[in-house]
Structure 1
Amino acid sequence: MTHLHVTAWVLGVILLIVSYVMYKKGNKAGKILHMVLRLDYLLILYTGGDLFAEYAREGFPFLGELIVKGIAGLWVIAAMEMILVKTSKSKPAKSFWIQFVIAFLIAVILGFFRLPM
């Protein structure tokens, strides 16, 4: 399940960047890619929830860090969505980009360097 989760969020970041570029160019394909990204959010949430349950079932000693990583992951998804919504309405999204980078770094550092799976 870990590989599917990593693949899903890598696909999510790629779709975010491509959708963002399409919205900036005024291309209608950005809206379609945004919808595909929303479907990818569901896959990310499902696999992340499954990994969370697997950790919790084993009586994981770093439960606090696991909860922080889960919250950071939800924060990443919210920031991604707000970036595209603001961009589609031609409003500035700089604050959401900053939030995205911070939350993404927290999630990646905890996921790859701190938590075992």
Structure 2
Amino acid sequence: MTHAHITSWLIAIILFLIAVSLQRSGSAKAKMVQMVLRLFYIITIITGVLLLHSLASLSILYVIKTLAGLWVIGAMEMVLMAMKKGKSTAVAWVQWVVALALVLFLGLMLPLGIDLF
């Protein structure tokens, strides 16, 4: 299940960057990419919940990582919607970077990740 989760969020990030570039260029395909991206949001959330459910002992760090992961998805949507409406995206980009860094740090630090320390 871990591989499915990592694959789904990695594809979601790639699709997000593609959607941003298509949105900037004004391409009509941006909407289609955003819909596929939303499908990968759902896949990522489902695989994350299944991973969380498979843990023998639930630590508060896993709950924080879950909330930060949802924050990443929310920030992605904020960036895309602000771009679509022609508003400033600076705050949404900062939120996305901070949330993504937090999720990656926790994901690598926790026992299901790579042993950093």
Match of 1:97 among 63, 72, 93: 93
- The equivalences for 1:1-117 within 5 A come to 1-55=1-55, 58-60=56-58, 63-112=59-108, 114-117=109-112
More helix by share: 1
Moved over 4 A (4+): none
Deviations 1:36-55 (A, max 9, x none): 00011000000000111112
Unaligned runs of 5+ in 1: none
Structure 1: distance between partners of 2:88 and 2:36: 23
Counting matched residue pairs gives 112
Identity of aligned residues (%): 37
d(CA) in 1 for partners of 2:19, 2:86: 13
Specify the code of the residue in structure 1 equivalent to 2:34: H
**With CA pairs under 8 Å and 6+ residues apart, which has the higher RCO, 1 or 2?**
1
Deviations 1:20-62 (A, max 9, x none): 010101101111100100011000000000111112xx124xx
One-letter amino acid matched to 2:14: I
Query: Match of 1:71, as an amino acid?
Result: L
- Pairwise CA RMSD: 0.8
CA distance in 2, matches of 1:89, 1:34: 15
